[in-house]
Structures are given as structure tokens and as C-alpha cells.
Amino acid sequence: MQVRYTKAGVARYRAMYDDARGRRQTAGTFATRKEAVAAWHAAEADIAKGGLGDRRRGRQTFRTYVEKKWLPHQVLEASTRQDYTYKIDKHLMGFFGPMRMCDILPEHVREWITEMQRKGASPATIQKCKRGILNSIFTTALNDQVITNHPSRGVRIPPVPKRPKKVITAKQFDDLYRMLPDADSRLLVEATIESGLRWGELAELRLKDLDFVTRVLTVSRTVVELNPKFHPTGGRFLVKPYPKGKEYRRFKLSPQIVRKLKAYAEAEHLQDDDLFFRYHHDDKPQTRKLRPVLLPGAYGKTTPNERGKTYDHGSLTAYTTGKCRCEHCKEAYRLYRAQRRTAGKDNPRSRRTRQTDGHIPADWFRKQVWNPARRDTGLNDVTPHHLRHAHASWLLAGGADLQVVKERLGHASIATTEQYLHTLPTADETALAALGKIRGPQLSEALDAEAPELDTLKAENERLRAALADMALSLHAAPTKPRLNTA
């Protein structure tokens, strides 16, 4: 216990105790010795039974705890850490960041959910942030004895509707396949539909993973693309020595795709450790679009700035001083920079190249190869991952065993595989045929019984139509009354 005196000579008693690490801590300052002794004893008793030691830990802000304690020391995959960091900065820090950990209550979590809905966040985004991240942060803080209650436990979130899986048909795949730009991309896409591999597993597929004699493919690795600051060595691609689910899997491929892969490997002189599909730098010069000649003053005026001034669209002043970013003003600035580079006043910007070790970037493949072919085919909202859905659905529709399909796809639960049952457009034809077998005879009898009544109704309808026609003719033939001249 420490005794201190104020300027007025009044004694103040500070209760001191040793925490679990033997560090001297304070349990508070009191006006009487008795209160200080009671606080000191209570803190030591709390330590003895494993309770909160330093109560100041709960007074740290949410931002401090997450950035200094939770994120650096939580065991997470590199890709998960990257995803969590982005979501925390975007969706959580703005609301919870300045709040003290001990002050966060369930009512604040509900307020955050309402705020997320007001900003237009989808129920799926709210679910990922609340269940995946926020719950984990508060659970860890509770275990660390930073907080005494779990503020997000039991807080309900908006329901997330379960959408049916979109599966392309064999004809749609053939149309898409023919629109792909080259033989390499067609082989990659065909290997995906034949194997059902995830993108990371396909991008990491190496020659040694496929036995050309037995046609058995071994999936033992995957690759993820990261921001360099989340990569252990500052790279771009991180190879994980296990696929999703952390279990290897082995399955056979069809003879025709194995023949194509073997021919490709021989033509490219691939070695055992070489990637089947590699990213090749495009050294061809880029074709530039023809741009219109700028005529300042012909495109109108910019919106007034804070000083009420306007500028001609398509002029350098409108871009620099008027802060206009329309196409005409950006073109004026582009021409200005091009003239300076031509005059040797600025160093030309080097062409951007993808940072890769040979792995194909997923976004590059999607934008440069997949999306043009998809648009030409007319398939909207179809991604390369839909080929995995199609693989599973086609297998099950063709009569493959559910357990076999589960093992090929590497699903942890067979319930995940069951989602691919009856996903093709023709899946309900069998059910409708079975319904027709049972209801068919009764439906025919009902139609036969209703036939006389239908004939009577048809005759009555014809009679009424004839009567209306006769009435119309009589009205047309009747003489019209002369009009009176009131002038």
C-alpha cells in the first residue's frame, strides 16, 4: 500500500498488488486505509482464482487490442489474415475502433449491424464480419481476461438467403470453349471441367502430380495470391503444402484429357517440378485507341468550383485548376504529358508487368481470357469456379456415387456435395415423369368427364356470338334520324 498526500494535506491510499507475472499493479486509490486494504485483498484473491488481473487491460481501445494483440498473434492462414485485415479496416474500425474494450456491449453490436444495413452492406458481408471476425476477437479477449462478457454472443444478424448454385450445361460449355483465344487457355479450361479442381489447385498443378500410366492425379498443394505485405517473404504467390481441408486426395482423369496433357507436356519439354500452366509475359506492343482532336470550348463548361469559376472542358486548366476528370479534360492532360516526354522533360513511365513467379494471376486470367469469351457466348455472371460446380453436377446427374464425388472434390462434409444434386435444368424431368405415371390415368378420366360440359359451353358461346352479330347488322341497317338545325 502507498500513502500520498494532497496539497491540502489529505491522505490518499493506493492499493497495490502483484499480478500473475509478478509485476506491481494498482487496484485503485481510496480515501481510507480500510477501502484500500479491501481492494488490495480482492485483487489478490481474484488473481488466485484465475480472474482478471490488471483491470486496466479492459480500458484499451478496440483498435489497440486488435492491431497490437489480436491480429499479430492470432493463428491464421496468410490469405485469411489479408481478408480479415481488409474487412476490419473497412467495416469494423470506423465504429468500434475508438471504443474501450470494457465499454462494448451487445447493444453496440446491434447498433453496428443497423449501421451496416444503412450503408447498404449485404447480409452475407454482415455475417462474415460478425461471425467470422467480431466473434473471434471478443472470444479471444474474453479468454485473455481483457473483458468480462462477450458482447457479440447471442446478437442476431439478418438472414442470409441460400441461393441455388448456377450450373452451366454441356452445350454452354462447348460454346464457351470455342470462344477461348488460344490452345493453352482451352486446355486449362478443359482440365478444370474434367478434374473439378479449385483455381489455386489448378494453378499449382505440376507435372509430377499426374501419373500418365494410371491416369491418377494427386492434389497435395495449392497456391494463393497475396499482397506482398502479407506474404512471409514479401512475394506475390504463396504455395501451401496442403490443399483446402488440409487433406491430400487422389482420383482418376479421363483418357482423353490425360492424352492432351501428356502431349502438351512433351511439346513444352516440362520437367517434374514445372507448372503445367504458366503465365507468359506479353511482349507485343499495345495498340492505342484513336483519340479525337480536342477543341477547347466545344464541350461546354465545368461545374463552378469553390470560388464560383468555370473552365472549358478539354483544357489543361480545367484538369489542373478546375479538378475536372471528364474524358475530355483527362485527354488534355494526357496530351500535355506526352508533349513533355517527347521534349525530354519527363522520364517515360515504364510498362507495368505482373509480379509473378510463373503462376497465373487469377484476375489476369479472368479479365484477359475468361470474360471476353463469356461475353461472346452470352453467359452472364459465370466465373471459372462455376466449372467446378458443373463438374460435380454432371457427375451426379450421370449416376456417379455421392461419396465418390465428395472425395474427388475434397469436400469436408457430404452435405456440401449434396447441394449439387438436381442442379441441372433437366433435373426435374424424372420427377415430372414419375408424377405423370401416377396422375396420368386419373387426369384422362377427369378430362373425359368434363368433355360434354365443355361441348355445351362451346355451343352456347357460338350462339351468343351469332346473336351479337345479328344485332350489330340490324343497328347498322336502321335509318338515322335527321339532325335539327338550331342555327
* Cross-strand partners of 95: none
Q: Which of 63-67, 151-155, 260-264, 395-399 has the lowest mean pLDDT?
A: 395-399
Q: What is the pLDDT of residues 92-112, one digit of tens each?
A: 999 999 999 999 999 999 999
> Is the pTM above the cut of 0.85?
no
C-alpha cell of residue 16: 497495490
Q: What is the pLDDT of residues 418-429, one digit of tens each?
A: 888 777 666 666
Would you tell me how many other CB atoms lie within 10 Å of the CB of residue 384?
19
Residue 109 confidence (pLDDT)? 96
Residue 485 confidence (pLDDT)? 47
Q: Is the dihedral of CA 263, 266, 271, 275 positive or negative?
A: negative
Residue 484 confidence (pLDDT)? 45
Residue 348 confidence (pLDDT)? 64
Q: Which has the higher per-residue pLDDT, 196 or 58? A: 196
CA distance 271 to 98: 55
Rg (CA), the chain: 37
Residue 442 confidence (pLDDT)? 60
CA distance 223 to 241: 9
pLDDT reading at 361 higher than 90: yes
**Dmax (CA) of the chain:** 124
Q: Which of 20-24, 162-166, 219-223 has the lowest mean pLDDT?
A: 20-24
State the pLDDT confidence band at 265, using cuts at 50, 70 and 90: very high
For the residues 52-61, what does the mean pLDDT come to? 73
State the pLDDT confidence band at 370, using cuts at 50, 70 and 90: very high
CA distance 54 to 145: 9
Go through 169-196 and write b for each residue having 16 or more CB atoms within 10 A of its CB, e for each that does not: eeebbebbeebbeeebbbbbbbbbbbbb
Go through 40-61 and write b for each residue having 16 or more CB atoms within 10 A of its CB, e for each that does not: beebeebbeeeebbbbebbebb
- 17 DSSP assignment: E
State the pLDDT confidence band at 458, using cuts at 50, 70 and 90: confident
pLDDT reading at 397 higher than 70: yes
For the residues 273-302, what does the mean pLDDT come to? 73
Q: Which of 295-309, 347-361, 380-394, 447-461 has the lowest mean pLDDT?
A: 447-461
Rank 1-5, 43-47, 404-408 by mean pLDDT and report only the highest.
Answer: 404-408
Q: Tell me the average pLDDT of the chain.
A: 85
Listed in sequence order, the residues at least 6 apart from 261 whose beta carbon sits closer than 8 Å to its beta carbon are: 187, 191, 210, 212, 253, 276
Share of the chain above pLDDT 90, in %: 51
Residue 341 confidence (pLDDT)? 81
Q: Is residue 147 within 8 Å of residue 102, measured between CB atoms? A: yes
Residue 487 confidence (pLDDT)? 41
Q: Which has the higher per-residue pLDDT, 39 or 357? A: 357
Q: Is residue 408 within 8 Å of residue 418, measured between CB atoms? A: no
The three-class DSSP label of residue 231 is: coil
Residue 34 confidence (pLDDT)? 82
